[in-house]
Amino acid sequence: MKTLLSLFAALSMSLNTLAAGLQHVEPPNWWVGMRDTSLQLMLHGSGIADAKPTLAPYPGVTLKASHRAASANYLFVDLDIGPDARPGELVLNLAGTTLRYPLRARMPGSAEREGFGPRDAIYLVVPDRFAQGGSGSQGGMKEGRDRASPGGRHGGDLAGMRQHLDYIAGLGFTQVWPTPLVENNSATYSYHGYAATDFYKVDPRFGTNDDFQAFVSEARTRGVGVIQDIVLNHIGAGHWWMADLPAPDWLNQWQQGYTETHHARMTLQDPYAAPSDRQRFTDGWFTPHMPDLNQRRPELATYLTQMTLWWIESAGLSGIRTDTYSYSDRDFLSHWSARVMQEYPRLNIVGEEWSPHPAVVAYWQRGKRNHDGYASSAPSMMDFPMNTQLLAALTEADGPHTGLTKLYEGLAHDFVYPAPGNLVLFDGNHDTPRLFSLLGRDVGLTKIALAYLATTRRIPQVFYGTELLMQSPVERDDGRVRADMPGGWAGDEASAFTGAGLTGEQREMQDWVRRLFNWRKAAPVIHDGALMQYAPLEGCYAFFRYDAGHTVMVVLNKGGKPVELPTARFPERLQPGDHARDVMSGRDFVVGSSLSVPARSPLILEIRR
């Protein structure tokens, strides 16, 4: 880790000391040995646009071209970093300015890194609300700390997350997804991270780029990968570009003035959609404070792609979560995802497409043969359709088309996905009310939901604090949904990390989640096994995960009474005389003519013959 940190320090010193007159050089460094040898530098400095750069001779590296955009203060320089190039320092001369540009060696095995997948379980954290460890600094930022305000900065930071990696790993999670950590220098409501003001800089209130490096490195030693949340669709109104756009079409601009997206995401697949509706969906802004990026501008498309690769390579990430996926330009997303997967064939990208329709979500997954020929290279998507069905299954009365039937039929729609097992199914996230509250503060139903997440054919993601039965309003209220993790601040009365001050119900739930996900971590049949489900009957829904040597049976009883479930109902997978082990209680027994399923409970059985 010391080597990585010293490289970052050397990089900063190099750019700050030797590139006088340049305010920004992005990406700030690059690597030899990338599969695509092209590199485009964005140089920003007063009057730099008309400079004619020259490159000092460097074996394997060629200066291909340079060009300006509309602004006099940007120059785009195209380089080719050939396969024979070695690590070192390029020297570019630009009208009296000397830029010494670092070329690094990639970390061993970088291109072949294993991304997250069905063997993993993801823990979602809002960094500002998780824990304060002391790495953050106000550093002249516009918004200070105000923990009393639900929508204000509360002071969680990278050091706080790093200090509690043992807690995350101990719960059985193998990946952590923090919401965006890059600088969001806005006057208010800046903590959420989705309005970047500098794509290459960690927000000082969280820490530094070095602190992020240290966090990822230490997480890896605990068997936990880090998924970075990257926003391609928009920036914050305080982004440094906004004072001097490289070109007027860098943003999606509207002649009639500010135009907000109408969120009509189905316009992209609708064969009858009006072109103006499609344009408003993708080119409309989220809010006046989130300018919409025009990825049809070639330099911006290249910038966003290289920025993504830079974070993967420099931080050692195991995956990317892409916010507001379909709002970006479709062709850009196709090329962006292909380039990322070209450099990291085993990485994973999960996109956010907030739609209840499986066909809409499937459209964006790699391998989907779409009606319009569109091809994506993103391996994963967030499974909003199944999240919707799971909540309905546990809150509606059962009927031919309601309640548990929705869970059954939701999974039956897996035929539309190229790789349903690589979808990320979640209990909730930073934009949705808390699971426990949506389920009427019912512990049994909450356990059923988590048991389903952990055992069905998906990658499970759990929102921080679910294991503590954290609550929120049932209508959207971001500040309260993203409440502080108990024990993350000195002086907190209760602590998730030590157990002090937790209620008995919270401690029991925390222990239950710990047992469930640690079992899952060591259960390959859940990661890779086939799935067979049975239509719900008598308030129970059952399915099996199985492979050549293992079988797991899962029964969800959402009713208020215990159920005796006839084993004859499952002739393909279960027989009287089979040996069973209750995963959560550890009880062993021999299967008889029926199974006893407690009220308002999941039952998870390992079956042996």
Q: Domain coordinates of the chain in residue numbers? A: 2-104, 122-241+296-522, 530-608
The values of phi and psi at residue 443, to 5°, are: -65, -40
DSSP H helical ranges for 297-357:
298-315, 330-343
Please check whether the two domains, 2-104 and 530-608, share a CATH topology: yes
Q: Which residue has the tokens 């489900």?
A: 533
Query: If you average pLDDT over every residue of the chain, what do you get?
Result: 95
| Chain length of the chain | 609
Measured CA to CA in angstroms, residue 275 lies from 278, 328, 336, 375, 500 at distances of 5, 16, 23, 20, 58
- The CATH number assigned to the domain with range 2-104 reads 2.60.40.10
* Cβ atoms 274, 305 nearer than 8 A: no
CB atoms within 10 A of CB 467: 24
Q: What is residue 21's predicted lDDT score, i.e. its pLDDT?
A: 83
Of 128, 210, 292, 323, catalytic: 323
Among candidate residues 31, 40, 22, the one with its CA nearest the CA of residue 60: 31
CA distance 103 to 86: 8
Q: What is residue 13's predicted lDDT score, i.e. its pLDDT?
A: 39
Under CATH, to which class is 530-608 assigned?
Answer: mainly beta
Cα 565 to chain centroid distance, Å, stands at: 39
- The two three-digit tokens of residue 391, written as one number: 């909540």
Q: Which residue has the tokens 């299954």?
A: 393
Measured CA to CA in angstroms, residue 352 lies from 279, 285, 355, 427, 518 at distances of 19, 17, 9, 15, 27
Predicted confidence (pLDDT) at residue 207 exceeds the cutoff of 60: yes
Handedness of CA 104, 105, 108, 113 (dihedral sign): positive
| Annotated catalytic residue 120 | no
Predicted confidence (pLDDT) at residue 458 exceeds the cutoff of 50: yes
Q: Region 469-491: what's the mean pLDDT?
A: 97
Q: Region 82-89: what's the mean pLDDT?
A: 98
Q: What is residue 95's predicted lDDT score, i.e. its pLDDT?
A: 80
Fold of 122-241+296-522: TIM Barrel (3.20.20)
| Annotated catalytic residue 329 | no
Strands 424-426 and 459-463: parallel
Of 352, 353, 427, 578, catalytic: 352
Q: What is residue 609's predicted lDDT score, i.e. its pLDDT?
A: 85
CA distance 40 to 201: 19
pLDDT per residue over 8-49, tens digit each?
444 443 443 335 689 999 999 999 999 999 999 999 999 999
